[in-house]
Amino acid sequence: MTAAGAEKGRILLSVTGWSPDIWRDELQKAAPDRPVVLEPEGLADPSIHYAVVWKQRPGILKDLPNLRAIFSIGAGVDHIFQDPHVPDVPIVRVVSDDLTLRMTEYVVWQVLDHHRQGPAYRAQQARGLWREDRDQRAANEVTVGILGLGQLGLDAALKLKTLGFDVSGWSRRLKPADDGIRRFAGKEQLDTFLAEADILVCLLPLTPETKGILSMPLFRRLKPAGRFGAPVLIDAGRGGLQNEADILAALDEGSLSAVTLDVFQHEPLPAESALWTHPRVTITPHAAATSSPPHLVPPMIRQMANVEAGRPLTDLVDRVAQY
Ligand code: NDP
Ligand code: OXD
């Protein structure tokens, strides 16, 4: 038991591709009695009780004898499992209304943009062209299929349903609910789900099972025609879910009509990628739902207090499924 006012176990903050400063400041503000360090003092530093990570340096967590939990600063945890030496302690991911709302905004923005033919009107404007005869259908004539009906996918699905779209979702396990979202699950129901979607939104986690799922065999199982001539793909899950050469080929052969990508196989997207200049590709730089330290740090600190009080942790990652 820690005496009141005494220093508690240290937090190791190990982030790459992200400045640690804002996270360190927020952690210190929320828990002044929990020192934050960027490096352990030696590989087996006993003073570290928690790790807060984004793409942690491989091996950095492996020998910490008193590590009690690992906190991801993102909803996805594939970055943690890139390290082959993740110790067997609970892993907590981000589940936050703030993050969920940001992702829902992004999905609704992109679905509406394609639905209301934003790319075509921007191209018309660039050419000074007034063309009124583009077909504008009602939302209920369009099926939006969401791959990954979890924390983020379900909220986006419900908001799109409110706007009038026909919405379906695909997950690993079937969880029926009376909310107007048509549900599909598992490999056996994937084809039926794909055959109906005019807009396919991907909010799957990157796991050994989902890696590369957005590739030609899947694109060829999509609806052959539909609202936009061929389905639109929106991927805001992870770049490792997609095969970018196949996306370009699917656009060229007509299995896809347009694509929005927020995530890429290699980030930043290399300058030579043909995706940058393809007229039917919209690119955002992994900006769909940014983790906000003021929203995410206080719940992490509460979870640390729960560990110390013997209360259960929430938002735990399933280490076998890896999400
Ligand atoms: P959740 O874990 O809440 O949901 C994941 C969903 O995917 C669940 O419905 C799950 O099924 C389903 N799923 C997982 N594996 C499979 C599979 N093999 N077959 C079918 N369905 C599967 O995750 P979140 O919704 O919180 O986040 C999803 C992903 O979004 C994150 O992992 C991250 O990669 C990405 N993300 C991207 C951001 C960005 O800015 N671009 C920001 C935040 C997150 P079931 O319900 O049965 O478990
Ligand atoms: C996340 C992300 O997983 O930002 O939260 O990509």
- The tens place of each residue's pLDDT in the chain, 323 residues long, gives 444 445 689 999 999 988 999 999 999 999 999 999 999 999 899 999 999 999 999 999 999 999 999 999 999 999 999 999 999 999 999 999 999 999 999 999 999 999 999 999 999 999 999 999 998 999 999 999 999 999 999 999 999 999 999 999 999 999 999 999 999 999 999 999 999 999 999 999 999 999 999 999 999 999 998 889 999 999 999 999 999 999 999 999 999 999 999 999 999 999 999 999 999 999 999 999 999 999 999 999 999 999 999 999 999 999 999 99
Return d(Cα 253, Cα 178) in angstroms, integer: 38
Q: Alpha helix (H) ranges present in the chain?
A: 20-30, 78-81, 97-115, 118-126, 151-162, 190-196, 216-219, 244-253, 293-309
Distance 136 CA to ligand 2 centre (A): 34
Distance between CA atoms of residues 306 and 211, nearest Å = 34
C-alpha 167 to ligand 1 mean position (Å): 17
Site to probe by mutation for ligand 2, drawn from 94, 207, 292 as the one with most ligand atoms within 8 Å of Cβ, is 94
Report which of 244, 262, 251, 204 is spatially closest to residue 228, judged by C-alpha positions: 251
Q: Ligand 2: does its nearest atom lie under 6 Å from the Cβ of 301? A: no
Q: Which atom of ligand 1 is nearest to the CA of 153?
A: 25
Q: Starting from the CA of residue 317, give the closest ligand.
A: 1
Quote the CA–CA distance of 262 and 259 in Å, as a whole number: 10
Q: What is the pLDDT of residue 4?
A: 47
Both tokens assigned to 121? 């009107």
What's the CA-to-centroid distance between 137 and ligand 2, angstroms? 33
Distance of CA 47 to the CA centre of its chain: 32
Q: How many CA atoms lie within 13 A of 180 on its CB side?
A: 15
Torsion angle of the four alpha carbons 130, 134, 140, 144, in this order, in degrees rounded to the nearest 10: -90
**Assigned token pair, 3:** 């005496």
Radius of gyration of the chain (CA): 22
Decide: 141 and 165 in contact? Cβ < 8 Å: no
Q: What gap in Å lies between CA 45 and CA 61, rounded to an integer?
A: 10
Q: Whose CA is nearest to atom 5 of ligand 2?
A: 74
Is the link from the previous residue into 268 a cis peptide, with omega within 30 of 0? Answer: yes
Ligand 1 probe mutation, 92, 167, 193, 203, most atoms within 8 A of CB = 203
Q: Ligand 1 centroid vs 135 CA: distance in angstroms?
A: 34
CA 309 to chain centroid: 31
Q: Do 12 and 64 meet the contact criterion of CB atoms below 8 Å apart? A: yes
Residues with CB under 6 A from ligand 1: 74-76, 103, 148-153, 170-173, 203-207, 209-210, 236-238, 262-263, 286, 288-289, 323
Instruction: Check if 204 has its Cβ closer than 6 Å to any atom of ligand 2.
Output: no
Ligand 1 mean position to 27 CA, how many Å? 26
pLDDT at 225 (0 to 100): 87
Which atom of ligand 1 is found nearest the CA of 321?
A: 15
Active-site residues, by number, are 238, 286
Ligand with the closest atom to the CA of 73:
2
182 C-alpha to ligand 1 centroid (Å): 18
Q: What integer pLDDT is reported at residue 18 of this predicted model?
A: 85
pLDDT for position 7: 67
Which ligand sits closest to the CA of 296? 2
Burial of 129 (0-12, 13-18, 19+ CB in 10 A): exposed
Residue 313 dihedral angles phi and psi, to the nearest 5°: -80, 150
Nearest residue (by CA) to ligand 1, atom 42, is 289
How many DSSP H helices and E strands does the chain contain? 9, 12
CA atoms within 13 A on the CB side of 259: 32
Alpha-carbon distance of 41 to 46, in angstroms, equals: 9
